[in-house]
Amino acid sequence: MKTDFQALRRRFPLLERKTYLNSGSYCALADTVREAINNYLDDRLAVGANWDAWILKSESVRALMAQLLGVTSDEVAVTASASAGINALASALDFTGPRNKIVISDFEFPTNAQIWHAQERRGARVVHVPRAADGYIPLEHFERAIDDRTQLVAVTHVCFRNGARLDIPGIVKIAHAHGARVLLDTYQAIGALQVDARTLGVDFIVGGMLKYLLGTAGIGFLYVQDRWIHELVPTHTGWVAQQNIAAMDIFANRPAESARRFEAGTPAVVNCYAAEAGLKIILRADPSQIEARVRALTAYCLRRLIDIGWPAVTPPDDARRGPMVAVPARNAAELFGCLTAADIVTSFRDNNIRASCHFYNTEADIDRFVAELERLRRKFAPVHPHGSATGVLG
């Protein structure tokens, strides 16, 4: 059945007032997500403490997340953030042997890089995979960095700076050939792109609910492939990570037999309400149709930017592009302010304005964004060495 995206768009009241191209920073709020948060507040007023219901909410998020990833519920941990998931995983790894190398890319969000660099005090050796001259990171660069001393390759699916999408199956193939495992950060992809853990072949996946998954901040997930669950014992832990939560045992650490061992303390209860509602929207809308729509919108945006002589730095190739289009600018912060004043909501990183598309966006949103850029082009478009305003392909 074909998804009615126009009908879904009407469920996001903000879109009546704003041209919202900022899902890569924080999603627009859906009616059912707001209702879910209000339901939590009503429950608090009516019941007070309702722990049985709240634990079930956390388990519902786990099950929905597993469905989206194409894995079992036992392979999913519900975490406070992507950072919490990566830290739990890092705490379970041993860097004292010959496999002490962690390979990350220069496309990483700070969290992924910072946490692995923090492990250097525990013996880890962190190696960065650099960009090529065109701004992309090809497989050849990963081939040069990954070797038999590599324990983990920790990479982003889509770069938060420029919207570039890495060749994850290719990276996995190289890593596994050397006996290394792969952690995939999907924060800038999942919900807008299909992320099937089995198809990708990755060992671990992290992400959060506040961007394309339509939930809120303060909740994330960690997927751990079943084969690694019993082998890895996190030292970053808590009472919810125990096999028997109700035991309240203070004399031993007895981790759960599932990926729940990578969780920690009290679940983020109200955030579970929001995350559950957001995930239900994504699954009912059909992730494959969402990806096709987002791909078409970003392609349209790239074409329109070329039309006005201000091309993006985001790769035009569908296989190398996520849901974000990054537009280079002189003084991106000031340009961001001008767009905001025109009720066009974007974000910026480095010297790029980021226009992040989701299924609720339309070509009309793109046209309004591009029209405003064209109006401001003389002031903000990058300047060619010979003096003409032009885009910079990266």
pTM here? 0.95
Report which of 314, 266, 300, 358 is spatially closest to residue 26, judged by C-alpha positions.
Answer: 358
Residue 12 has pLDDT above 50, yes or no: yes
- Which of 283, 312, 327 is the last residue before a domain boundary? 283
Whether 50 and 9 share a structural domain: no
Range of the domain at 303: 5-23+286-380
Residue 385 has pLDDT above 50, yes or no: no
216: domain CATH number? 3.40.640.10
Whether 98 and 130 share a structural domain: yes
Q: How confident is the model at residue 383 (pLDDT cuts 50, 70, 90)?
A: confident
> Would 136 be classed as within a structural domain?
yes
Distance between alpha carbon 51 and the CA centroid of its chain, in Å? Answer: 29
The C-alpha atoms of residue 271 and residue 294 are separated, in whole angstroms, by 26
Q: How confident is the model at residue 384 (pLDDT cuts 50, 70, 90)?
A: low
> Would 386 be classed as within a structural domain?
no
pLDDT tens digits, 70-104: 999 999 999 999 999 999 999 999 999 999 999 99
- Which of 223, 253, 283 is the last residue before a domain boundary? 283
324: domain CATH number? 3.90.1150.10
- Which of 265, 283, 301 is the last residue before a domain boundary? 283
Whether 323 and 339 share a structural domain: yes
Q: How confident is the model at residue 230 (pLDDT cuts 50, 70, 90)?
A: very high
> Would 392 be classed as within a structural domain?
no
pLDDT tens digits, 144-173: 999 999 999 999 999 999 999 999 999 999
Residue with tokens 């996946």: 205
> Would 390 be classed as within a structural domain?
no
Residue 391 has pLDDT above 50, yes or no: no
Whether 187 and 292 share a structural domain: no
Lowest-confidence segment of 11-15, 270-274, 382-386 by average pLDDT: 382-386
CA geometry: angle 82, 86, 88, nearest 5 deg? 115
pLDDT at 53: 87
pLDDT at 393: 34
pLDDT tens digits, 94-142: 999 999 999 999 999 999 999 999 999 999 999 999 999 999 999 999 9
> Would 78 be classed as within a structural domain?
yes
Whether 293 and 255 share a structural domain: no
pLDDT tens digits, 318-377: 999 999 999 999 999 999 999 999 999 999 999 999 999 999 999 999 999 999 999 999
Whether 177 and 65 share a structural domain: yes
Residue 388 has pLDDT above 60, yes or no: no
> Would 389 be classed as within a structural domain?
no
pLDDT at 373: 98
Whether 17 and 63 share a structural domain: no
The C-alpha atoms of residue 28 and residue 1 are separated, in whole angstroms, by 25
pLDDT tens digits, 274-322: 999 999 999 999 999 999 999 999 999 999 999 999 999 999 999 999 9
Contacts of 328 (CB under 8 A, 6+ apart): 312, 313, 351, 352, 382, 391, 392, 394
Q: Which two tokens stand for residue 357?
A: 């598309």
Neighbours of 257 (CB within 10 A): 11
Local structure of 65: helix, strand or coil: helix
